[in-house]
Amino acid sequence: MLLKVGSKGEDVKKLQTKLGLTPDGSFGPNTEKKVKEWQQANGLTADGIVGSGTWTKMFGEAPQVVKEDVVITPVEGLNIEKLKGTIPDGVIAQIAETAKKFNITNNLRLAHFLAQCAHESGAFKFVSENLNYSADGLKKTFGKYFPGTLAESYAKQPEKIASRVYGGRMGNGDETTKEGFKFRGRGYIQLTGKSNYVKFTQFIGEDCTANPDLVATKYPLASAAFFFNNNSLWSICDLGSSDEVVTKVTKRVNGGTNGLADRITKFKKYYSLLK
């Protein structure tokens, strides 16, 4: 993705709406000015150009770029090409390298993995945790961190919310360090906490602790596979293609069975294509 002066279309309209401009779909000097202001306010290079990094930070989702000429690298034992048209080309392009690095050695494992990723990320759209909770949402989701009326002073402030909820655990410093926000959930299966970012950095060979947004923009699939690999999920995937096995995988990923029906549906769809 690259939106700049002269760009036109629906993505430009979405951008303009986010910036409070009239969504005419034409990226002109006024849109460029607003983009620069937003980038500067959010710690990004204020160049007025919207690439995948700016888009992801602005919307909390990866840009959906369709590449008709996407190159599908063959991997022995995997029928990756059969997924074309079913999942985004941008995801397909990441599968081969991810499979080689993280022990995705057969189509059964791949189907289980993609089904969980697709559900957790809203069909591969969301690569950054949405923490824009209302006061009621905070009490419902993170009640123990917001006793009494405390939620009122944190509502709709993602940085403050994450800093409190994730502060002092998972390798993060306390709330004042804001590391809870810096190392919030990213990737198709949310990599969360400084200690996990450090481990992923050591494996992937690029410093995702210094630049955590890389997990969302460059490694959303790899970070999810890292989670599968580190939590011994492949051995569960290898048990078969029954609903019971999908349930077992789901419990390890989700901690419960939220969205189980959708995960099962997605697994069956992908596995039917792959096998």
Domains of the chain: 2-59 (1.10.101.10)
Q: What is the mean pLDDT of the chain?
A: 92
User: Measured in whole angstroms, how far is the alpha carbon of residue 147 from the centre of its chain?
Assistant: 30
pLDDT exceeding 90 applies to what percent of the chain? 79
Q: What is the pLDDT of residue 17?
A: 93
User: Measured in whole angstroms, how far is the alpha carbon of residue 9 from the centre of its chain?
Assistant: 25
Q: What is the pLDDT of residue 165?
A: 97
What whole-number distance in Å separates Cα of residue 157 and Cα of residue 180? 13
Q: What is the pLDDT of residue 64?
A: 60
User: Measured in whole angstroms, how far is the alpha carbon of residue 139 from the centre of its chain?
Assistant: 24
The Cα-based distances of 143 to 154, 162, 235, 253, 255 in angstroms read 12, 13, 35, 22, 18
Q: What is the pTM of this model?
A: 0.77
Question: Is a pLDDT exceeding 70 seen at residue 87?
Answer: yes
Question: Is a pLDDT exceeding 90 seen at residue 99?
Answer: yes
Pairing mode, strands 2-3 and 50-51: antiparallel
Question: Is a pLDDT exceeding 90 seen at residue 73?
Answer: no
